[in-house]
Chains A and B, each alone.
Chain A
Amino acid sequence: MKSAVIVFPGSNCDRDMRVALSRATGREVRMVWHKDAALPAGLDLVAIPGGFSFGDYLRCGAIAARAPIMRSVIDFANRGGLVLGICNGFQVLIEAGLLPGVLMRNQTLKFVCRDVRLAVETTDSPFTHAYGNRRVITVPVAHHDGAYVADAGLLARLRDEDRIAFRYVDARGEPTAAANPNGAADNIAGVLSPNRRVLGMMPHPERLADPALGGADGAILFDSLCTALAEA
């Protein structure tokens, strides 16, 4: 699998993403600067990392979504390329119009930084199929603007089309209010595009992808991508 990580001023999870991807793929990961006009040829996956691109000015992800490289990323997604946006990357994908909804300030108004439990709501995607029967996983969140907001029509569509990838849940796997770290609608932590090849999620699988760091549930997402591409 050939992958690239887009780097914006203020990205701070770009190198974690590179490590997670290079371990899963066994290949070099291209780092692409936001001012570049085009993506490297022959990519299978573009990853938009977490951080505070452009200092979160205007709205989180708004400036990054209009950076020169993003035109190429949008074309790549429209041609069926795999795109993964984590945390600020999720905000960028929403601002770029590749995923629906809005991410707003956490309802508590507090920056939340801790491990959360996620239910893998669908294994029908290249990002999640390797989770198999492992329905509840642990991955950290670290954000101030992660409350997923969508109107009733969009929420119904996401449910009907099985496009909710992850939900915040408690130890029993229930999407309770107490298990919701940011006030997200329907406890939504991650959503898929209509063709299921673009995933945006607030939690950070790349930060818990090595047992030495206390867990490797996040690594399964990257392994999932590799096997999906190998089978394709």
Chain B
Amino acid sequence: MKARVFVTLKNGVLDPQGEAIRHALGTLGFAGVEGVRQGKVIDLDLAETDPAKAEAKAAEMCEKLLANTIIENYRVEIL
């Protein structure tokens, strides 16, 4: 079973890398980009075949390692 984990910065956490991307987009002529937030996508290939159990396991992985829940949110998608 494949799961996709999205890790994103929480609102209010400064994202200097996102800001740098926004500036670069402006340099390329993309006007009107009012904000950029950079995150991570982590694809998991799991032996688990039950979608609910796979999702719960992926969420546990996020809590313990994949996300820093002080500054990041995570979302798990079963593919």
Q: Could you list which residues of chain A lie within 8 angstroms of chain B, going by C-beta atoms? A: 58-59, 62, 66, 95, 101-102, 104-109, 149, 183
Contact = CB atoms under 8 A, between A and B. Distances in A.
B13 interface: yes
B16 A66 contact: no
A183 B64 CA distance: 27
B79 interface: no
A104 B14 CA distance: 9
A109 B16 contact: yes
B41 to A, nearest CB: 13
B65 interface: yes
B68 A95 contact: yes
A107 B14 contact: yes
Interface of B: 13-14, 16-17, 20, 64-66, 68, 70-71
Contacts of B14: 104, 107, 149
Contacts of A109: 16-17, 20
27 contacts: A58-B65, A58-B66, A59-B68, A62-B65, A62-B68, A66-B64, A95-B68, A101-B70, A102-B68, A102-B70, A102-B71, A104-B13, A104-B14, A104-B16, A104-B71, A105-B16, A105-B17, A106-B16, A107-B14, A107-B16, A108-B16, A109-B16, A109-B17, A109-B20, A149-B13, A149-B14, A149-B71
Contacts of A149: 13-14, 71
A227 B64 CA distance: 38
A117 to B, nearest CB: 24
A228 to B, nearest CB: 31
A59 B74 CA distance: 14
7 tightest A-B contacts by CB?
A: A102-B71, A102-B70, A107-B16, A109-B16, A105-B16, A109-B20, A59-B68
B68 to A, nearest CB: 6
A153 B14 CA distance: 17
A97 to B, nearest CB: 10
Contacts of B66: 58
Contacts of A95: 68
A66 B65 contact: yes
Nearest to A100: B70
Contacts of B65: 58, 62, 66
Nearest to B64: A66
A95 B66 CA distance: 11
A147 to B, nearest CB: 8
A181 B66 CA distance: 28
B8 to A, nearest CB: 14
B47 to A, nearest CB: 21
Contacts of A105: 16-17
Contacts of B71: 102, 104, 149
B24 to A, nearest CB: 11
